[in-house]
A and B are shown apart, each in its own frame.
Chain A
Amino acid sequence: MKKLLILGAGTAGTMMLNKLSTALDAREWQITIVDEFETHYYQPGFLFIPFGIYSRRDVVKPKRDFFPPGSSVVMSGIDRIDAAENRVLLSNGMVLGYDFLIIATGAKIRPDQTEGLQDAEWRKSIFDFYTIEGACALADFFKRWEGGRLVVNVAEMPIKCPVAPLEFVFLADWYFTERGMRDKVDIHFVTPLPGAFTKPKASSILGDFLDRKNIRLTTEFAIGRVENASKSIVSWDEIEIPFDVLVTIPTNMGDEAIERSGLGDELHFVPTDKHTLRSEAHENIFVIGDATNLPSSKAGSVAHFQADILTENLLAAIEDRPLRASFDGHANCFIESGFGKGVLIDFNYDTEPLPGKFPLPGVGPFSLLEETKMNHYGKIMFRWMYWNFLLKGLELPIESNMSMAGKRW
């Protein structure tokens, strides 16, 4: 029997397990997946928790519900990949050999990377919403908060779901308006980027949204430290921004196991060929989702598009054929803009988000780069699609590579 090993049973790993269980002949291949936690979190739902729209139970399900029957699953931490010997050492002492390896260990927040972030004020007046614990703690805090300066700060790029911090301030504007206290809350979005978002056209449109919603924007702010006593964030060039509550998106990094294996870059992301999704260092290792160093967005939708490409290329590699499938960096993101509306953006490595209709040219039902109620329903529907289609590796009615049909440019 040949062995295929998948590290990480999050969005990308689970999708690959489902796809490959059908694509590979079970008499020839044994597929094993490893993860340390039993619970699957629907991370896009974390955004809604601080505002009481979702609660914990809306975003959790057992991982095992999404594995095909008879899958070989190992619940353990991953200690280290020994690529020279084609094996993986687990924290429970097991050693798993492989013919092919898929790394899908994702990205996590690292508040420890910024001085003073995880100090006296952590989870008192400093919160994150990229973890279930952070999102729930912030929900409790907001329920009792009487207003003041709300600073939302992105520490460093890249982060997963790069639109989530913007959605957070849009939702905060809505939430405090509904509660009749918007005039008591000063919302301030502080980013290291030169604009509201990474892509110029979307950045200017989303920047206008901030203006209209009376949200302050500070750009090119690179956080150096947090002063807990005076409650302020300070940039490397000593600009100080005071807060009453700080919502931080800390530095995102790949897992420590990647670092221990000597397979990561300075952020522990795995150098990966941006088109074939094969690791740059090893022919029999492929990488998918947030764990890669690709210049595409770190998002579940992106991992979904990558999964089709990866399946094709892995089958080719197994049969020693050239890797023909090529990932184009396709990302498709619903952006919640508050008050029951949303914006949709669709882009890839080379083409920035453009206006138009999606996915059916001229018809929609979704509108690109425009604020509509339908786009908000798209975001809400995404959760249902995620649990019922995406994780199970089933097809969605969207092409893996980006299409220009229906777009205006």
Chain B
Amino acid sequence: MTTAELQRDADGHLANRADWNEQVARDIAIEEGLEALTDRHWLVINFMRKEFDARGDAPSIRKLTKESGVDTKELYALFPKGPAKKAAKIAGLPKPKGCI
């Protein structure tokens, strides 16, 4: 099965975390308009997965900035537009619950 055929939720994120692997991450990154995933991308992606395992929600940008070691400016360069949302999608996680 190709990444495009994997089951998605209403936000277009993977419906099942079990479907995720590094190749799937690379495919979703291309869907999102990123050319390649560098070490810096992976640092953020792995941080997000670890946080999600620990807390059941993907971290906000503020938390990423504070704890991942990548500052806000770079986060937006790595994942243009919404870094928290985009990185969560590539990491195979649901959209961060965020706020109303």
Binding site for B on A (CB under 8 A): 156-158, 162, 198-199, 220, 222, 224, 235-237, 265-267, 295-297, 331
Contact = CB atoms under 8 A, between A and B. Distances in A.
A162 B100 contact: yes
Q: How large is the interface on B (under 10, 10 to 19, 20 to 34, 35 or more residues)?
A: 10 to 19
Given A220-B81, A267-B62, A237 B100 contact: no
Interface stretch (B1-9, B21-29, B36-44, B71-79): B71-79
A220 B82 contact: yes
A299 B27 CA distance: 41
Contacts of B77: 237
B97 A224 contact: no
B76 A222 contact: yes
A236 B72 contact: yes
Contacts of A224: 72-73, 76
Given A266-B60, A266-B62, A266-B66, A199 B82 contact: no
B81 A295 contact: no
B98 interface: yes
Contact of A295 (B63, B80, B100): B100
Contacts of B54: none
Contacts of B73: 224, 236
B76 A295 contact: no
Nearest to B61: A222
Contacts of B18: none
Nearest to A265: B63
Q: Quick one: which of A156, A237, A266, A297 has the most chain B CB within 10 A?
A: A266
A157 B80 contact: no
A59 B65 CA distance: 38
Given A162-B100, A222-B76, 15 more contacts: A156-B62, A158-B100, A198-B99, A199-B100, A220-B81, A222-B61, A236-B75, A236-B76, A237-B77, A237-B80, A265-B63, A295-B97, A295-B98, A296-B100, A297-B100
Interface in B84-100: 97-100
A157 B99 contact: yes
Contacts of B61: 222
Nearest to B80: A237
Nearest to A157: B99
Q: Quick one: which of B80, B81, B99 has the most chain A CB within 10 A?
A: B99
Contacts of B62: 156, 266-267
A157 B81 contact: no
A156 B76 CA distance: 15
Contacts of A162: 100
A220 B80 CA distance: 10
Contacts of B72: 224, 236
A162 B98 CA distance: 13
A177 to B, nearest CB: 30
Contacts of A156: 62
Interface string B47-72: 00000000000001111001000001
A233 to B, nearest CB: 15
Contacts of B80: 237
